[in-house]
């Protein structure tokens, strides 16, 4: 499975601001931790330090390194897009040609340095 990500200019600016000039990857995740069922998850966007061996790259011309765990990839259509949420300028909308995955998804910095300084 090959995923691609289109990023609006406004969303790209927000993502670059969140990266704060530090290295990392933007993980597109299907988070079912604590949900009780693998089908009761929520879409999440996490900035992480490194890739796992189970990660797939998501192609994007934005210059932002998107990744997804191969087990989570089945929950997403092949062509994805990220735009700024109309309600909250600090979160984004993730969608595909066929559906919306969330209209106000927060970006969570899960890099080690971010946790230490918080």
Inform me whether the pLDDT recorded for 90 exceeds 90.
Answer: no
Angle, CA of 116, 113 and 111, to the nearest 5°: 115
| Dist. CA 17–CA 37, nearest whole Å | 34
Q: Count the neighbouring beta carbons within 10 Å of the beta carbon of residue 67.
A: 21
Burial label for 76, CB within 10 Å (0-12, 13-18, 19+), is buried
CA 108 to chain centre: 9
pTM for this structure? 0.87
For residues 96 and 114, the model is more confident at 96
pLDDT tens digit string along 32-69?
765 555 556 789 999 999 999 999 999 999 999 999 99
Taking residues 14-37, what's their average pLDDT?
85
Domains and CATH numbers, the chain: 4-111 (2.60.300.12)
Residue 17's pLDDT band (boundaries 50, 70, 90)? very high
Taking residues 58-83, what's their average pLDDT?
96
Q: Count the neighbouring beta carbons within 10 Å of the beta carbon of residue 23.
A: 11
Q: What is the pLDDT of residue 89?
A: 81
- Pairing mode of beta strands 42-48, 55-58: unpaired
| Dist. CA 94–CA 35, nearest whole Å | 21
Taking residues 67-92, what's their average pLDDT?
90
| Residue whose pair of structure tokens reads 């390194």 in the numeric block | 65
């Amino acid at each position: 499975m090959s995923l691609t990500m289109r990023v609006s200019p406004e969303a790209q600016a927000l993502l670059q601001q969140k990266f704060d000039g530090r290295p990392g990857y933007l993980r597109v995740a299907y988070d079912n931790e604590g949900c009780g069922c693998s089908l009761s998850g929520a879409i999440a966007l996490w900035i992480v330090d490194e890739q796992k061996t189970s990660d797939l790259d998501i192609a994007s011309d934005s210059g932002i390194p998107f990744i997804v765990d191969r087990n989570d990839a089945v929950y997403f259509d092949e062509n994805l897009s990220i735009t700024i949420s109309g309600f909250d300028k600090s979160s984004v909308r993730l969608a595909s040609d066929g559906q919306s995955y969330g209209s106000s998804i927060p970006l969570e910095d899960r890099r080690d340095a971010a946790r230490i300084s918080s």
